Amino acid sequence: MVMEIVCPAGTPAALRTAVQAGAHTIYCGFADETNARNFPGLNFSREEMAEGVAFAHAHGAKVLVAINTFPRAGAETLWHAAVADAEAAGADAVILADLGLLAHAARHHPGLRRHLSVQAAAANADAINFYGREFGVRRVVLPRVLSVSEIAAINAETGVETEVFVFGGLCVMAEGRCSLSSWATGESPNMNGVCSPASHVKYREEGGALSSTLGGFTINRVAAGKPAPYPTLCKGVFRAGTAEGHLFEDPVSLDAAALMPALRDAGVTALKIEGRQRSRAYVGQVVRAFRAAVDALEAGREVPSGLLTRLTEGGATTTGAYKKTWR
Amino acid sequence: MPQDTAPTIPRVPPALAAALGLLPRTPVALALERTVRRIAVAHPGLIRRLGPHDRARFVLDPTDLPFVICLEPNGGDVRVGVCGRPGQGTTRIAGPLAALLGLVHGAYDGDALFFSRDLVIEGDTAAALALRNAVDDAEIDLSGEIARLSGPFAGPVRRLAGVAERMTGVSLSRPEEIGAW
Amino acid sequence: MELTVGPNPFFWSADDWQSFYDRLAEAPVARVVLGELVCSKRLPFYAARLPAAVERLTAAGKTVALTSLALVTLPRERKATAELAEAGAEVEVNDLTALSHLPEGAGFTVGPLVNVYNEGTLAWLAARGATRICLPPELPLASVETLARAAAGHGVAIEVWGHGRAPLAISGRCYHARLHGRAKDNCLFACEDDPDGLEVRTLDDTAFLAMNGVQTLSAATLSAVHQVEALKAAGVASLRLSPQSQGFDEVCRIWHARLAGGMDGEAAAGALEALVPGGRLADGFLTGARGTDWSAGAPA
């Protein structure tokens, strides 16, 4: 089985770019708080979603719709409508995280394939099988806390397909279980689909040094000429005791291209590229590189790597939790 | 990982930039305004994607040119001005002309330019992000837009575009985005 | 409204651990949740003392529940989670892995680290056997009110975070170990010197977070001391007090007085500020613009 490349699209233009660059599958979301990349200027209207799905299907690609925030009490109908509209648009699956929404989708949209979002943080075979049993979940996006050998062990114990992140931004916290952003800004991935939202970010250039503040907290200061990071809390510079530095995570992003053979051997079904907030230029380059890599892998050739460094945060990459020493 | 894998963004040579500074600003601004208005009409998604930021005032600052461009979407009734630094606005997006053009054309990735410090954002970060994402989705073909220009203002803008294209190495036509599949 | 003492999130010596629960037996609280929430490597240090602590608390009239781990990945963690379900005690589910082991229809409680944000999730958990749900601290008061109303219809008791450094994140990586240049598997228990977590400051030296091994907490102590009346009116059944290493007996007494009407919000807040690590309270998740806000500091 060829591993499926699952690519991000923040806009219809990015979706078309990804399809034309060879993506097997695209994931995207509606332009509201129902998805975890609810950023200014991004995402799909209902019409754009239907057109995007039609375009992808015409080119033999699939579309997954992420509805992976946690519905707000008293406003669940917004999320229920998103599931219904994804089905109406012809989506191949929805990516969900919330128990109540999973139950709703399983009951009211039984024919719509359900994937479990990384936001559900199902990190072992017991939890994954539980979602499979209770809600008919067919695929799980694994949290970025597992090593390759742990992923292999999970696949040996479950019939639910696994999808893992191979490239892009890296959450250091278990996703769906982090309120750092709402602590500082009032808006969080779980509730609002945003982390460290741009509306609360301020940059200041002082003598060549770039300071970034989030909600008034200074979370970074980089000298002139040094790479700038995203103003994400968990990648900020902090002090503890006498230490100062990136106490949680360095401003790096994930590049597990070199681990693709190991991930295939671990039984992984799909490889996911992060970056619905990135441009179509990024999507095109990354998708082409990863499609070439899976094709090389399939043909028994060596997988090229390191081609995408300049697109990455800090110009630096990590293999993250896939190697145990990261912990 | 080494930083030198990043492509160097070309700069407009200072002498040429100085010469461009002598262009009359009002006609340039009016020509740009006509172009942007036509783009906004052709790509209604552009204004819609700005959402709550469609009344922001964007200062686009090509750091290698002696002026800045002030863009006001104004809910669809677009206004464009050309003025000296720093220019007043809700948000400032600053970088070499080639970087700004590359963003419009989908040749460059905005986040990558930000990581490498080729792009600097000040002020309302959300508004800047909305504009970048809206423009990225619109797949604007500036050379086509400029070719369509007519009237008394067409001359200076064509001149500016020609300079930009030659000196920055950034094509004003959309780069080939379709892979060899 | 009653008081529940949540599981101790920190790594204390077995003696300190035991003396904390010995004293808690005398405290004016109705329920105690104990066991290991944060790191499975800590449990062996006090596991042998758990049964006696449970017995003592039960004998003192407290309802006792045992927590699951917050993040279950390793084989030994899965095994421990499965065994927890078979132990016969009331289980507080803080990772859905625990729920996967509980037989259909068996009662259980849901801890604050399970994402219960809406009525649909609440209804599903209630149907599965949840009898009590402690809501995630991130929720605003409006959501708490909506969920408390929905819970009443399902016969589920709603609990809200009342006091303690807020659990903001859990990770596969141990930050204490990272700070000491070690990997998690060879951490040498770098967290043991920080019985209330290690304060993390911003570059402007503002106290911001607290690291606690694989967990990240708020530096300020989350306190619902000003929202007691609103939460009572909403039908919230109990408030959760999360352990701190010093002065916790006094914390329990203050909260008891606050709930019984013997102390107003301002007096209780003043008394608590003097007791909490770092000396700062916050209640922005419930009523502010953001978590770190404190309503007493906001303009009227």
* pLDDT tens-digit readout, B45-97: 999 999 999 999 999 999 999 999 999 999 999 999 999 988 899 999 999 99
Residue C212 structure tokens? 């606690």
**Which pLDDT score, from 0 to 100, does residue A33 have?**
94
Counts for chain A of helices (H) and strands (E), in that order? 10, 16
Please calculate the CA angle C117-C121-C122 and round it to the nearest 5 degrees.
90
Q: Measure CA A41 to chain center.
A: 18
User: Chain A partners of C99 at a C-beta cutoff of 8 Å?
Assistant: 130
Phi, psi of A283 (to 5 degrees): -55, -45
Residue pair B123/B92 in contact (Cβ under 8 Å)? The answer is yes
Q: Do chains B and C touch (3 or more CB pairs under 8 A)?
A: no
Domain-wise residue ranges, chain A: 4-170+252-326, 180-245
Examine the pLDDT at C4 and tell me if it is beyond 60: yes
**Residue B169 falls within a domain, yes or no?**
no
| Percent of chain C predicted with pLDDT > 90 | 92
Q: Who has greater pLDDT, B167 or C273?
A: C273
Kindly tell me the burial class for residue B15, based on how many C-beta atoms sit within 10 Å of its own C-beta (0-12, 13-18, 19 or more).
exposed
β-bridge partners, C240: C4, C161
Examine the pLDDT at A324 and tell me if it is beyond 90: no
**Which pLDDT score, from 0 to 100, does residue A24 have?**
98
CA distances in angstroms from A285 to A7, A22, A169, A291, A318, listed in the order given: 11, 11, 16, 10, 19
**Residue B7 falls within a domain, yes or no?**
no
Residue with tokens 């030994």: C76
Closest to A281 (Cα-Cα) out of A12, A13, A56: A13
**Residue B127 falls within a domain, yes or no?**
yes
**Which pLDDT score, from 0 to 100, does residue B171 have?**
61
Q: Do chains B and A touch (3 or more CB pairs under 8 A)?
A: yes
Q: What is the mean pLDDT of residues C199-212?
A: 96
**Residue B54 falls within a domain, yes or no?**
yes
User: Chain A partners of C139 at a C-beta cutoff of 8 Å?
Assistant: 73
For residues A20 and B127, give the distance between their C-alpha atoms in angstroms, rounded to a whole number: 30
**B154: confidence class by pLDDT, cuts 50, 70, 90:** confident
Please calculate the CA angle C126-C128-C129 and round it to the nearest 5 degrees.
65
CA distances in angstroms from C30 to C16, C61, C134, C252, listed in the order given: 22, 8, 15, 11
**B6: confidence class by pLDDT, cuts 50, 70, 90:** very low
Kindly tell me the burial class for residue A299, based on how many C-beta atoms sit within 10 Å of its own C-beta (0-12, 13-18, 19 or more).
exposed
Q: Which of B106, B129, B179 sits opposite A280 (nearest CB)?
A: B106
Residue with tokens 């397909």: A161
**A8: confidence class by pLDDT, cuts 50, 70, 90:** very high
User: Chain A partners of C96 at a C-beta cutoff of 8 Å?
Assistant: 99, 122, 127, 130
pTM for this prediction: 0.94
- Does A198 contact B181 at a Cβ distance shorter than 8 Å? no
Q: In this complex, is the C-beta atom of A100 within 8 Å of any C-beta atom belonging to chain C?
A: yes
Residue with tokens 């949740």: C33
* Interface mutation target, options B115, B131, B139, chain A, most CBs of A under 10 Å: B115
CA distances in angstroms from C258 to A201, C29, C77, C261, C267, listed in the order given: 38, 13, 39, 5, 9
Q: In this complex, is the C-beta atom of A196 within 8 Å of any C-beta atom belonging to chain B?
A: no
User: Chain C partners of A180 at a C-beta cutoff of 8 Å?
Assistant: 168-169, 209, 216
**Residue B5 falls within a domain, yes or no?**
no
Q: In this complex, is the C-beta atom of A58 within 8 Å of any C-beta atom belonging to chain C?
A: no
- Give the domain range for residue B123: 14-161
User: Chain B partners of A312 at a C-beta cutoff of 8 Å?
Assistant: 1, 112, 115
Virtual CA dihedral for C182, C184, C186, C187, nearest 10 degrees?
A: 70
> Looking at the 3D structure of chain B, how many domains does it have?
1
Examine the pLDDT at B180 and tell me if it is beyond 50: no
- Give the A:B interface size as CB pairs under 8 Å: 140
* ipTM of model: 0.95
Kindly tell me the burial class for residue B153, based on how many C-beta atoms sit within 10 Å of its own C-beta (0-12, 13-18, 19 or more).
buried
Examine the pLDDT at A158 and tell me if it is beyond 70: yes
Structural domains of chain C sorted by starting position, each given as residue range(s) with its CATH number in brackets: 2-166+218-297 (3.20.20.70)
**Which pLDDT score, from 0 to 100, does residue A71 have?**
98
**Residue B155 falls within a domain, yes or no?**
yes
Examine the pLDDT at B181 and tell me if it is beyond 50: no
* pLDDT tens-digit readout, A163-213: 999 998 888 899 999 999 999 999 999 999 999 998 899 888 888 888 999
- Does B125 contact A201 at a Cβ distance shorter than 8 Å? yes
**Which pLDDT score, from 0 to 100, does residue C29 have?**
98
**Residue B180 falls within a domain, yes or no?**
no
Phi, psi of A240 (to 5 degrees): -145, 125
**Which pLDDT score, from 0 to 100, does residue B18 have?**
87
**C282: confidence class by pLDDT, cuts 50, 70, 90:** very high
**Which pLDDT score, from 0 to 100, does residue B4 have?**
34
- Does B179 contact A309 at a Cβ distance shorter than 8 Å? no
At the fourth CATH level, the homologous superfamily of domain A4-170+252-326 is Aldolase class I (3.20.20.70)
- Does B115 contact A10 at a Cβ distance shorter than 8 Å? no
Q: How far is A186 from chain B (nearest CA, A)?
A: 15
| B95: CATH | 3.30.1050.10
Residue pair B157/B149 in contact (Cβ under 8 Å)? The answer is yes
**Which pLDDT score, from 0 to 100, does residue B169 have?**
65
Q: How far is C96 from chain A (nearest CA, A)?
A: 6
**Which pLDDT score, from 0 to 100, does residue A314 have?**
60
Examine the pLDDT at C297 and tell me if it is beyond 70: no
Q: Which of C119, C166, C200 sits opposite A238 (nearest CB)?
A: C200
Q: In this complex, is the C-beta atom of A40 within 8 Å of any C-beta atom belonging to chain B?
A: yes
* pLDDT tens-digit readout, A205-260: 888 888 999 999 999 998 888 888 788 999 999 999 999 999 998 888 888 888 99
Whether the ω angle into residue C112 lies within 30 degrees of 0, i.e. cis, is no
**Residue B1 falls within a domain, yes or no?**
no
**C300: confidence class by pLDDT, cuts 50, 70, 90:** very low
Examine the pLDDT at B175 and tell me if it is beyond 70: no
**Which pLDDT score, from 0 to 100, does residue A310 have?**
59
**Which pLDDT score, from 0 to 100, does residue B123 have?**
92
Phi, psi of B162 (to 5 degrees): -60, -45
Q: Which uninterrupted H or E stretch holds C195?
A: none
> Is C187 annotated as a binding-site member?
yes
**Which pLDDT score, from 0 to 100, does residue B167 have?**
66
